[in-house]
Amino acid sequence: MVRQAQMQLLSSFENIEIADGMLQELCNSAAVEEETAYWVGMALREALANAIKHGNKLNPEKRVHVLVRIVPGEELCIEVEDEGEGFAPSDVVDPTSPENLLRESGRGIFYIRHFMDAVSFSPGERGGTRVALIKKLPKVEQGGLDEEHS
């Protein structure tokens, strides 16, 4: 059974906890492995932090739109969209190169790409940036998940 949840968050870092809590509940209900759920949660946290800080620039009147969709045995998809002025991911430097190793910032997108299987950036419907994250999930044995939730 497909699980889906949608949220609109005000541009405050405290709200990252609420979104990750929602993701973890959804993962739990879809029997996503704990380890996978943790790292996907980390990717969501980084995407939200970017949307709030760099997208909406902490403007309390702007929102962040979050969509999580889990297809058990197939994939977990997350979309995060801000209401900012757009963002060019090509500007991101490689944090592992020696000259960047001691930089205090610039690791968020690197972590997102590391923990997810596919990451794409596109212009959002509201003028900001939409980032789509995909994590492939292992196949569910026939009947396993349905029995747990029947």
The C-alpha atoms of residue 65 and residue 125 are separated, in whole angstroms, by: 11
Q: How far is the CB of 104 from other proteins (least distance, A)?
A: 4
58-117 residues near other proteins, rule: CB under 8 A: 95-96, 101-108, 110-111, 114
In the list 22, 49, 92, 140, the residue contacting other proteins (rule: CB under 8 A) is 49
* 34 lines the binding site for other proteins (CB under 8 A): no
Which helix (H) or strand (E) is 7 found in, with range?
strand 3-10
Where do contacts with other proteins occur on this chain (CB under 8 A)? 12-14, 16, 38, 42, 45-46, 49, 53, 95-96, 101-108, 110-111, 114
